[in-house]
Amino acid sequence: MRIIKLIYVLYKIKLLSPLGLYRLMVAIYKCGFNLMTLLHFAEKKFAKQLALVDDDETISFQQLLAQSNQLSCCLKEEVHLHGGQKVGFLCRNHASLVKSIFAVSRLGADVYLLNTEISSEQLNEMITRHDFDLFIYDIELSALIEQSHYSKEKVFSYHHSLPAINNFLNRGDLENKSLPRISSGKIILQTSGSTGISKDASHKPSLFNYLSPFMTFIKRLKILHYQTVYIATPIYHGYGIAVILLFLTLGKKSVITKRFDANKACRLIRDHEIEVITVVPSMLQKILREDTEALKSIACIASGGAKLRSKLVEETFHELGEVLYNLYGTSEAGLNFIATPQDLLYSSSTVGRKINGVKLKVLDENMNEVDDRKIGQLCIQNKWSISNKNNPWIKTGDLGYKDDNGYYFLSGRTDDMVISGGENVYPIEVEQVLINHSLIEDVVVIGVNDEQFGQRLKAFVLPIKDVNLTEEALLEWIRLRVARFQVPKEIKFVENIPYNELGKLDKKQLIKENNWQV
> What is the CB-side half-sphere exposure of residue 293 using CA atoms within 13 A?
0
Burial of 518 (0-12, 13-18, 19+ CB in 10 A): exposed
Is the CB of residue 44 less than 8 Å from the CB of residue 64?
no
Question: Residue 53: in which H helix or E strand, if any?
Answer: strand 50-53
Please tell me the distance from the alpha carbon of residue 231 to that of residue 4, in angstroms, as a whole number.
31
Q: What is the dihedral of CA 466, 468, 469, 471, to 10 degrees?
A: 120
The SS3 of residue 253 is strand
CATH 3.30.43.10, applies to 418-514: no
Domain range summary for the chain, segments of one domain joined by +: 46-203, 214-413, 418-514
* Residue 360 neighbours by CB distance under 10 Å: 18
**DSSP letter assigned to residue 387:** P
Q: What is the pLDDT of residue 202?
A: 83
- Report which of 432, 447, 518 is spatially closest to residue 489, judged by C-alpha positions: 447
The secondary structure of 62-126 as a DSSP string is HHHHHHHHHHHHHHHHHS---TT-EEEEE--SSHHHHHHHHHHHHTT-EEEE--TT--HHHHHHH
Evaluate whether 173 touches 149 at the Cβ level (below 8 Å): no
pLDDT tens for 398-446 read: 999 999 999 999 998 888 899 998 899 999 999 999 999 999 999 999 9
Choice between 7 and 478, residue whose per-residue pLDDT is larger = 478
Distances (CA, A) of 314 to 85, 271, 429: 48, 26, 18
Q: What is the pLDDT of residues 59-92, one digit of tens each?
A: 999 999 999 999 999 999 999 999 999 999 999 9
3-class secondary structure, 270: helix
Half-sphere exposure of 427 (CA within 13 A, CB side): 22
- 3-state DSSP call for residue 457? strand
Task: Report pLDDT for 348.
Answer: 95
Nearest CA-CA partner of 255 in 283, 225, 275? 275
Of 287, 216, 224, nearest to 257 by C-alpha is 287
Question: Are both 214-413 and 418-514 of the same fold?
Answer: no
Residues 209, 210, 213: CA angle, nearest 5 degrees: 140
Q: Is residue 109 a contact partner of residue 87, using CB atoms and an 8 Å limit?
A: yes
Considering only the top CATH level, what class is 46-203?
alpha beta
pLDDT at residue 4, as a whole number = 66
Residue 192 CA, chain-centre distance (Å), reads 13
pTM of the model: 0.89
Find the length of the chain.
518
Residue 52, classed as helix, strand or coil, is: strand
Of the chain, the percentage scoring pLDDT greater than 70 comes to: 92
Rounded CA-CA distance 377/222 in Å is 31
Q: How confident is the model at residue 191 (pLDDT cuts 50, 70, 90)?
A: confident
The candidate with the shortest Cα–Cα distance to 440, out of 464, 409, 456, is 464
Distance of alpha carbon 167 from alpha carbon 13, whole angstroms: 36
Contact 137, 157 (CB under 8 A): yes
Superfamily of domain 214-413: ANL, N-terminal domain (3.40.50.12780)
Alpha-carbon distance of 412 to 416, in angstroms, equals 6
Q: Given a cut of 90, is residue 372 above it in pLDDT?
A: yes
